[in-house]
Structures are given as structure tokens and as C-alpha cells.
Amino acid sequence: MMQTLKWKRSNKPLLSSKDKAHGPPSPTLMPSNSSSSSSTSPLHQPVSLSTLSQTTPALAIPEIMLAIAAFLNRQSLTHCALVCKDWNAIFQPLLFRVILAADFDRPDFVHAFQNHTRFATSIEWIQESPTYPPPVPKKSAWHRFFRRRTLSSSSSSSLRPIATMSRKPFEQLEHSLLAGQTPSLETLSVRVQNQDPNLILRLAASTVTTLQISTRGYPARKPRLYMEDILHSYPNLVHLTLEGLFTLGSHLLEERGFDAAQHPYFPAPLPAPPPGPILATAAVTTTTGLTISSPFPSPSPTPQASSSSSTTHTSVVGVKGKAVDRPSSIESLSLRLVDISQDGLLALSALLPQLKSLLIEEFLVPDMMIKTYRWTWSPTFVRSLRTAFPHLQSLRFAFPFENIKEDTIVEILKSFPLLTTVGFRNAHFGERAMETLQEHCKFVECLDVSFGYGDYRFKAALLLFLQTWPRLRELEADGVIFHLDTPIDAGVMRTPWACTKLEKLLCGFYGTESMIFQHLSQFPMLSHLTIAHPSLTISSIDTTLAWMARSTKMEYFWFTQQRNQVLERDTIQWFLKHWPNLKKLHVAGGVNEQKEVVRQWCRDAQRLSVVVETDRY
Amino acid sequence: MPVILVSSDSQEFKVDKEVAERSILIKNMLEDVGESDSPIPLPNVTATVLTKVIEYCEHHRNDPVQVPDETDDPRKRSNDIEEWDMKFMQVDQEMLFEIILAANYLDIKPLLDVGCKTVANIIKGKTPEEIRKAFNIVNDFTPEEEAQIKKENEWAEDR
């Protein structure tokens, strides 16, 4: 096995913005990345200020070196990688940016590749299907980004899909991950096309704490994924996200059969340990891989999966019936479109005793079929859910076509008084549910009641809630339109909302734009704002946007534009000037060509990282 | 309408607004400041370099604004430099890098591209030793390390 270079090791992580410290302050001009929201270059490694910076300061600036590297072919890159240590740090990773299947025919490449992957902290692997004919016909090529820093934001990379699905490179990834330790790898995200998700379990890495498996399409028969197998391959997982048309089950369930009423798999009742301190911190969102708080012991040297993990969680669940391999540390589970039965979910309790956050969602992607969960949501099930996962603090359900009845919601809310995040989309979240929430779930900070069937009375209850619940930080109420133009809304007197710490808001309004923005100015902490109704023109900034000059934390703003109305440059410039943290601007409707124009304005203002989106439809 | 730019060594340059606005940085400054005659300080650019930059902007004052290519092809062409630009870039290496730095700071993408392409063309076809000589870089690898890297990257050599 190739010996790793000693100096390379010491050069590792702790990637800060140290590399921006030298050279004149300048916007990052990455030729290929100007429109992506996150830096997708495999770079930003610390480049030490060496003699380089004295002789040719330009060469000590990574951005400039990268700009130059964009014009070099692979051979030149290898020569550059040999020039000196600073250059090597920049150019070596670029060798792996585009990989062809034929590369793996060379054993020396494989070695180099293995070394490279071994030190990555996060790997994102996306297998795409071709969406456009490539300009130069290439053999199956894979784009991959190996980031040498912890994943700070979820990113769909701006990878260019090229040609076919060759399994070979995937196998190579697998070999290299298994060939030795991956001491830094924490986040692994793999998306495959028309393949069995079990494939990804072969990448087994015991250091991974955040795992995402996505599939699009599937081979002949719908695949089954087993939680035990996942845990076997990734024993230290904390966050697990599964997306795609496959079934999630457990061997336990299948071997023993399962009766919800008798639940032999549930832990013997422990002498009521409190489920942990009330976390008033950020609600667990489902997409980001959060960095874990506790350090991990170094993984055992055996490359094949089953390293004995010493988890950092103390409560070991005593299980009647079949013994579980090891108690898992998974805290959040997100399932999108994944098929799982009620019994299946309950059976997971033995495997996921620490579960804090659960999201089950169906979403529609143009090329995927609609699915419907057939859960009965009986009171027994809800009670079992409670017994199965006593530590749950976040529950989010979204089923477009299957409605959860209000009784069920009430039952759930009563069973989980410690919930901080509650989400029931497309459900019968009505007045009663709202009242139950206020009465029983005192710690709720995030609420999603979008696309509900709530009526007049629900709206009244929601309004009262907003007027009396200072704790609320996130509210998604797509479909709800609040009156700002009348003193009474749904029979409730309009008074200021108590939730002034609101960070995320999605709803609609009736009223003039001036009223709307004036209302929104009550929430200076807003970072994500979506105005679902009405469509806006934002024509006179002084009376509208000016209200929000203090909302400097704004990162994401979505609004519907009036048809055929052109966004004014002043408006965009106002955004850019007053909202320095703006990352994404989504404009629905309006004139289509505008997107480019708006982008240009953003570039003009040196805000290359602002992503401008419009609807596809 | 003229705009006054001041280099780091306090030399003033009067240029047309249109020319100055090839630099996005200056353009934004002008917009923020509005109608004003006050000179714009450029503390990171010396007079000699600024002269060159202004020369470039004057020549390209009527170029359409570039929209960055969205296709993320990592391998771009560097053999399409205009003749005028090529002559413009025939300067000593120190000046070449100064221009690149200035283009980066002032946010003049076409000039930055030309500069980088020029450097890329210097690098292309050279062995590592030749590259070091070209840029006066000290080799801080031990022979063993160098051999090791070479061996590791052998696969990339024939492309």
C-alpha cells in the first residue's frame, strides 16, 4: 500500500478562511463556480505563506492559482503538482475532479485515488443520467467533489451529468474506501440511478455520521433496504436520510413478525430517565449533516465494516426478544418516498432507541410515480409510537394524498409533550389540533401546517397562537392568508404577533405591499421568507421594502411576481445592499428572461454567490 | 464624463466613466457615491500597473459584458487569445502577475482571464523543473518525496 507522505498529513483540515488572508481583498473569481451557491471546488485548503509569497505574491493566492488551473490539462496539472509543496496542495486534488472509467484500469491511479479519498471529510457521489448531449463525446465520466472540510451546508452540486451508468467507478470508490482507514470521513452522500440502494452499504465506513442515500428509479424489482444492514455498515451514524423508491424494513420484523399491540421489541420500561434536557436549540432540519459534538474513537484497522463501535451514548436499551447488534446512535431519520409500514416503523425502535427527529415525506419529482402511504394511524399505533420512540422531539409528516385526520394529530400531540418541531402538511390540522398543541406541547418552536384543510376556526386558532407564542421560530403555513387590511381576521382582533424571534416564515397576506412589509418588519431575525400571496411588484421601495432594512439576516427570499412585470434594478440593488447575507432569491412568475438580467445585476454588485431562481413552470 | 482614479503611489488618472466601469469594483463604487467628482482611491494598485489596466480597458471599452459560462467544464481553452491582448501581455513576469492581481482586485474578469490564460500557456508543455525556473520557485521537496508524487501521478501523465 502506498505510504502517505508525512508532510501531506500535517497539512490537513482546519480549513478556515486562512487562504483568503493574503492578497488584496477581492471577490472570489472562480471561473466555473459563479452561479452555484456553495463552493464546489475541492479546494480551500490552507496554503502556507512561504517564500512563494515574497517572490510572486500572485502565486500564493489560491483563487488565482485555481483560475489558472482552469486552463490546464491533466498532464500540466501533474507537472504543477510537482513544482513545490504549495503548488502541490492546490493542484493535486484537481487531478481527481473529472474521472473517467478508463482511469481505473491503471493501478497507479487507483492508489492515488485511494489516498485521496482516504483523507476526505465528506464525499458526495452523484451518478447522473445524461440530460444533454455532451459537447465532446466522452466515455463515461464521473464528476465528483471531494471536500476536505466538514460539510457546512447541504449542497446539490452543480455537477455536469455525462453519459452512462458504469458501475465500475462506484466499485472503485468502494475499494478505496475499504482499502484502509478513512479517519476523517464524516459525511457521505450517494445518489444512484436505477440501482439497488444496498449497493451503497458496501461503502461501509465506520467514521461516517451523516449518511444520505438517494435513488432515482430502480432496477426490475423494488429493492429492500434493512436498517440492521445500514447500521452494520455505518455503526456510528447520527443522521440518516433515505430517499427513493425502495422499502425500508428490518430483519427483526421479518423474522419475528410483529404485533403492534404486544410489542415484544420494546425496551423494558426503564425507571423513567428523563429524555434529556429540553433543547431550545435549532430544530433539526433534514438536509444538513450537522457536525457531531462528540469526538469519535479511532476506527479499528480492519477495513471491512464490522468494527466494534464504542458509541458515545450511554443508555443501552435492554431488549426482549432478539438481541440487537449494537445500540445505534441515530438521532434523526428522514424518509422521502421510502416505503415503510407502520409496523415497520415501530420495529425500528429497538434499532433506533435514541431517535429524536423523524420526517416522513412524499414528494413528487417529475419522473417518479406518486405513492400513497396506507397507514391507519389508529390510537394504538400512536401510543405504540410513543412507547417506541420516547425521545422524539421533532415530527414531520407530509403526504400529499393521504390525509391525517385531526383526531390522530390530537392524539400525537398529546403523546409527545416535548416536541419542539411539529409538521403536518396536507393534513386536517384544525382548531382542535391547534388548541391541543398550545395546551400540551409547550416547547414548540417550529410549526408546519401547510396545505392543510383548516377552516375559518383553524385560522382563528392559529392567529391566537401567533399572538401569544413568543417561542416560535419557524412557521410554514402555505395556504393560509392573513388579513392585514382589516382590523379583524377570522373573528380575531388583529394584534401584533408575539413571535418576534421568527426566523422562518411562509404564508400569504391580504393587504397592500406597504402593509405586508410593515408587518414583516416586526421580525428582524427573519432569514427565510416566502410570501406565497399576493404577487408583488415591489415598485416603490420607500413604502415597501424600506420597512425591512433591519432584516439583515435574510438569506432566502421567495415571492411571486406579477405576471409580465419586470423587476426593477433598484429593487435588486436594494436587496443586495441591505441584505448582505442573501444567498438565494427566488422569483416565481414574472418575465422569464429576467433571471439572467437579475443574475447580471448580482454579479455587477459582486455578489456572485447569490442564487437567482425562478420557477420551472 | 471623467472619473479620477488614484493609484497607491498617489498618482491620479483621469478616465472616461465608461472605461472605468469595465472594473466592477469601480462601477459599484461609482454607483454608491453617485454624482460626485471625488477621486477613487485604489490602494492596492500601483501607477505602472494601473496604466496598463487602463490601457486594456480603453481598448475593450465597447466589448459586450460577458456572462460566465455555465457549463462547468474544468478544462478550458487557452489558445484563443486575441492578437492585441497577446501583445498587451508581453510584459515581464512580475508585471504579468501584478496585472492579474489588479484584475482580480478590480474585478475585471476578461483581463483576469487573459492573464490566467497567459500564465497557463507558460506552464503548458513544461516539466516541473522548467516551471520552477520560469517562476523562480524553490523546490522544497526531497528527492524521495518528489519520486513518490511522480509515481502516484503516473497515470495522469499520458493525457
What stretches of A257-317 adopt beta strand conformation (E)?
A: none
Q: Which letter, b or e, does each residue of A447-468 get, where b requires 16 or more Cβ atoms within 10 Å of its Cβ?
A: bbbbbbebeeebbbbbbbbbbe
| Structural contact between residues A40 and A33, judged by C-beta atoms closer than 8 angstroms | yes
Q: Residue A370: what pLDDT?
A: 56
Geometric angle at alpha carbon B93, from B87 and B99, rounded to 5°:
70
Q: Which amino acid is at A462?
A: L
Nearest chain A CA: its distance from B13 CA (Å): 21
Please name the member of B109, B119, B135 whose beta carbon is closest to the beta carbon of A29: B109
- The pLDDT tens digits for A239-268 are 999 988 888 988 887 777 655 444 444 443
Mutate which of B21, B78, B81, B152 to disrupt the A interface (most A C-beta within 10 Å)?
B152
Contacts of B110 in chain A (CB under 8 A): none
A573 vs A229, A581, B36, CA distance in Å? 52, 13, 20
pLDDT average, residue stretch A483-509: 92
Confidence of residue A171 (pLDDT cuts 50, 70, 90): confident
Q: Which letter, b or e, does each residue of A379-393 get, where b requires 16 or more Cβ atoms within 10 Å of its Cβ?
A: eebbebbeebbbbbb
Q: Do A5 and B145 touch (CB under 8 A)?
A: yes
- The pLDDT tens digits for A213-235 are 888 777 778 889 999 999 988 88
Nearest chain B CA: its distance from A265 CA (Å): 51
pLDDT average, residue stretch A506-523: 92
Nearest chain B CA: its distance from A136 CA (Å): 11
Tell me the backbone φ, ψ of residue A514, rounded to 5 degrees.
-65, -45
A155 vs A39, A341, B13, B54, CA distance in Å? 9, 30, 44, 39
Please name the member of A35, A70, A83 whose beta carbon is closest to the beta carbon of B74: A70
The rounded distance, in Å, linking the Cα atoms of A17 and A61 is: 12
**Range with lowest mean pLDDT among A35-49, A149-163, A380-394, A406-420:** A149-163
Instruction: Please choose, from the candidates A148, A161, A185, A168, the residue with its C-alpha nearest in 3D space to the C-alpha of residue A98.
Output: A161
The rounded distance, in Å, linking the Cα atoms of A424 and A396 is: 6
Cell of A353: 432507541
- What is the C-alpha end-to-end distance of chain B, expressed in Å? 52
Geometric angle at alpha carbon A234, from A232 and A237, rounded to 5°:
125
In terms of average pLDDT, the best of A184-193, A340-349, A523-532 is: A523-532
HSE, CB side, 13 Å, CA atoms: give it for residue A610.
30
Q: Which letter, b or e, does each residue of A189-221 get, where b requires 16 or more Cβ atoms within 10 Å of its Cβ?
A: bbbbbebbbbbbbebbbbbbbbbbbbbbebeee
In chain B, the residue whose alpha carbon lies closest to the alpha carbon of A55 is B136
Instruction: Please choose, from the candidates A575, A566, A526, A568, the residue with its C-alpha nearest in 3D space to the C-alpha of residue A546.
Output: A575
pLDDT of A192 > 90? The answer is: no
Please name the member of B70, B77, B104 whose beta carbon is closest to the beta carbon of A35: B70
Indicate the length of chain A as a whole number.
617
A580 CB neighbour count, 10 Å cutoff: 10
The rounded distance, in Å, linking the Cα atoms of B91 and B70 is: 31
Cell of A78: 501533474
More confident residue, B143 or A44: B143
Q: Please name the residues in contact with B52: beta carbons below 8 A apart, sequence gap of 6 or more.
A: B88, B91, B95, B99
In chain A, the residue whose alpha carbon lies closest to the alpha carbon of B94 is A56
Please name the member of A5, A61, A75 whose beta carbon is closest to the beta carbon of B159: A75
| Mode of pairing for the β-strands spanning A224-226 and A488-489 | unpaired
Q: Please name the residues in contact with A49: beta carbons below 8 A apart, sequence gap of 6 or more.
A: A22, A60
Nearest chain A CA: its distance from B11 CA (Å): 19
pLDDT average, residue stretch B60-76: 61
Instruction: Please choose, from the candidates A512, A454, A459, A467, the residue with its C-alpha nearest in 3D space to the C-alpha of residue A485.
Output: A512
Cell of A173: 470508490
Indicate the length of chain B as a whole number.
159
- The pLDDT tens digits for B90-117 are 998 889 988 998 998 888 989 999 999 9
Q: Residue A91: what pLDDT?
A: 83
The rounded distance, in Å, linking the Cα atoms of A360 and A266 is: 21
**Range with lowest mean pLDDT among A65-69, A362-366, A466-470, A582-586:** A362-366
| Mode of pairing for the β-strands spanning A446-448 and A474-483 | parallel
Q: Please name the residues in contact with A417: beta carbons below 8 A apart, sequence gap of 6 or more.
A: A440, A441, A442, A443
Q: Which letter, b or e, does each residue of B32-60 get, where b requires 16 or more Cβ atoms within 10 Å of its Cβ?
A: eeeeeeeebebebbeeebbebbbebbeeb
Q: Which residue has the cell 456510528?
A: A236
Confidence of residue A55 (pLDDT cuts 50, 70, 90): low
The rounded distance, in Å, linking the Cα atoms of A404 and A423 is: 12
Geometric angle at alpha carbon A266, from A260 and A269, rounded to 5°:
125
The rounded distance, in Å, linking the Cα atoms of A594 and A178 is: 48
Contacts of B100 in chain A (CB under 8 A): 58, 64
The rounded distance, in Å, linking the Cα atoms of A180 and A174 is: 11
Cell of A308: 466494534
| Structural contact between residues A543 and A514, judged by C-beta atoms closer than 8 angstroms | yes
Nearest chain B CA: its distance from A471 CA (Å): 39
Q: Do B73 and A5 touch (CB under 8 A)?
A: no
Q: Residue B58: what pLDDT?
A: 92
Instruction: Please choose, from the candidates A262, A356, A347, the residue with its C-alpha nearest in 3D space to the C-alpha of residue A315.
Output: A356
- The pLDDT tens digits for A61-102 are 777 887 888 888 888 888 998 998 888 887 877 776 555 666
- What percent of chain A lies above the pLDDT cut of 70? 62
In chain B, the residue whose alpha carbon lies closest to the alpha carbon of A570 is B31
Q: Residue A172: what pLDDT?
A: 67
More confident residue, A406 or A271: A406
A389 vs A282, A317, A353, A470, A611, CA distance in Å? 20, 12, 6, 28, 39
The rounded distance, in Å, linking the Cα atoms of A319 and A268 is: 7
ipTM for the predicted complex comes to 0.87
Please name the member of A67, A85, A87 whose beta carbon is closest to the beta carbon of B112: A67
Q: CA torsion, points B32, B38, B40, B46, in degrees to nearest 10?
A: 180
**Range with lowest mean pLDDT among A239-248, A310-319, A410-419, A473-482:** A310-319
In terms of average pLDDT, the best of A203-212, A311-320, A503-512 is: A503-512
In chain B, the residue whose alpha carbon lies closest to the alpha carbon of A84 is B139
